[in-house]
Amino acid sequence: MDFKNYIGGAWHETTEAVNNINPSDISDIVGVAAKAGAGDLDQAISAAHHAAPAWGKSTPQQRFDVLDFIGSEILARKEELGRLLSREEGKTLPEGIGEAARAGQIFKFFAGETLRQTGDRLASVRPGVDVDVTRFPVGVIGLITPWNFPIAIPAWKIAPALAYGNAVVLKPAELVPGCAWAIAEIISRSGLPAGVFNLVMGRGSEIGPKMIEDPRVTAISFTGSVPTGRGIAAACGANLKKVQLEMGGKNPMVVLDDADLDVAVDACLNGAFFSTGQRCTASSRLIVTEGIHDKFVGALAEAAANLKVGNALEAGVQMGPVVDEKQLAQDLEYVSIAAKEGGKVLGGERLSLASDGFYMSPALISETTNNMRINREEVFGPVASVIRVRDYDEALSVANDTEFGLSSGICTQSLKHASHFKANAQAGMVMVNLPTAGVDYHVPFGGTKGSSFGSREQGAYAAEFYTSVKTAYTLP
């Protein structure tokens, strides 16, 4: 078994195992991964539960040293880790290496945060009394992560969890055990005490609910699909467990008549199709005013058709495969739904290439309206639709007419419209003349409406989730 579970400071095999398949070439088995059952999970939770109190009392220096070690090693090995990532998930090698580097930077950022943990001291409203407000760790955090960012998402949950003194049980997505194992392997040599970090690879639907119901797990941070997230929120509510959810998006990108056409095409090409469109921040609704509409659609269609689709590990490839057969079927199904609804489809076909993988051409669907299913439901693939609108006011109203609210963008040279959009877009993140996807690692990440629930991830705001607050009154 190549990718074992890591529980209580030791590597654990499981009786059942899963093949990790390269989506660019299904004859390539990346490795054999553990498949945990309830017993393995119970051991991991128990290890975390016993290790949490001592780690919660560790000094900032101890935490800094551990996180800095992990971050430095990931950065030093970003090419190799990026290759593993691209091989198991299918994003292109430059994207994989970029994501690995980002994971390293996240650990470095939170290493710094260990030294910047502050509290408040206030005068009481009662004479002679002092009030201290301090933060303390939450305890054992269950982390449930998706396949689309196999190293960055675990990193942006593990790093703050450890920085603020918590113990962790990570349950990564079944499709990407390699990156989760690689992080665990680095952590195993970082000086972190045994049991503080545990990796349990297994079926989400089997061990996920057990993790949520276990009273020793005090909080859950989840990134994944809307239905799973909603179920987790309900279960955490029933168990009075702190929870944070990042789910889907149907992110709008508005293109106004006064946009720089090249900037708009670049932003939409990147936002819609890079990482094979498999980003919760992907631009899936391109809302374009009528004066620029035809020029924009023509230019974007040409750019999309010219994207080189292929094996993620080959030089020059700009879009890798879809992650697996099921996701590919879903993407193609949505393209056919959009065509039946009256959309004009360019691309969006399954491709047979030299290596046998889950390839499709990017799909650009024009002449759609915002009430079509293609514009209401998240596809999670290289599929974007275009909605023609009269003017800025209609564009804003269409952009906000969605149950999601993760990211939104506008391409314009008008300061007035850019400022108005920043203030009025119903989303947690707003981009002006930039793709809706692609964010910094030191500032908050998250959305509104049906996209997110609970406090923000990343940056110093992560403290909200990974700590609780204590208010102490003293009469000296």
73 versus 99: smaller Cβ distance to ligand ADP = 99
Residue from 117, 188, 225, 318 in contact with ligand ADP (CB under 6 A): 225
Nearest CA to 96 out of 86, 108, 105, 107 is that of 86
What is the size of the binding site for ligand ADP (CB under 6 A)? 17
Does the footprint of ligand ADP cover residue 171 (CB under 6 A)?
yes
Q: Coil, strand, or helix at residue 364?
A: strand
212 versus 304: smaller Cβ distance to ligand ADP = 212
Does the footprint of ligand ADP cover residue 228 (CB under 6 A)?
yes
Query: What CA–CA distance (Å, rounded) separates 379 from 103?
Result: 26
Residue from 204, 252, 321, 446 in contact with ligand ADP (CB under 6 A): 204
Q: Is 446 left (phi over 0), alpha (psi -120 to 50) or beta?
A: left
**Could you tell me the smallest distance in angstroms from the CB atom of residue 287 to ligand ADP?**
25
173 versus 363: smaller Cβ distance to ligand ADP = 173
Q: Which residue has the tokens 């290759």?
A: 83
Give the E-state strand segments of 233-348 in sequence order. 242-246, 251-255, 283-289, 344-347
Query: What CA–CA distance (Å, rounded) separates 56 from 190?
Result: 17
- b or e along 375-407 (b: 16 or more beta carbons within 10 Å of the residue's beta carbon)? bebbbbbbbbbbbbbeebebbbebbebbebbbb
Does the footprint of ligand ADP cover residue 208 (CB under 6 A)?
yes
Residue from 205, 306, 336, 397 in contact with ligand ADP (CB under 6 A): 205
**Could you tell me the smallest distance in angstroms from the CB atom of residue 154 to ligand ADP?**
10
Residue from 231, 291, 438, 444 in contact with ligand ADP (CB under 6 A): 231
174 versus 464: smaller Cβ distance to ligand ADP = 174
220 versus 268: smaller Cβ distance to ligand ADP = 220
Q: Can you read off the two tokens belonging to residue 58? A: 């560790």
Strand 407-411 relative to strand 251-255, pairing? parallel
Does the footprint of ligand ADP cover residue 224 (CB under 6 A)?
yes
Query: What CA–CA distance (Å, rounded) separates 203 from 298?
Result: 44
Packing angle between helix 38-56 and helix 204-213, nearest 10 degrees? Answer: 40
Read off φ and ψ for residue 89, nearest 5 degrees.
Answer: -110, -30
Which of the residues 246, 268, 411, 457 is marked catalytic? 246
Stretch near ligand ADP under the rule CB under 6 A, chosen from 12-20, 223-231, 258-266, 467-475: 223-231
Does the footprint of ligand ADP cover residue 173 (CB under 6 A)?
yes
Does the footprint of ligand ADP cover residue 234 (CB under 6 A)?
no
User: 120-149 mask for ligand ADP (x: CB under 6 A)?
Assistant: ------------------------xxxx--
Known catalytic membership, residue 280: yes
101 versus 379: smaller Cβ distance to ligand ADP = 379
SS3 readout for 322-351: CCCHHHHHHHHHHHHHHHHCCCEEEECCEE
| Residue 41 Cα distances to 176, 214, 282, angstroms | 18, 10, 33
Known catalytic membership, residue 213: no
Q: Catalytic amino acids?
A: 246, 280
Residues contributing to the site for ligand ADP (CB under 6 A): 144-147, 171-174, 204-205, 208-209, 224-225, 228, 231-232
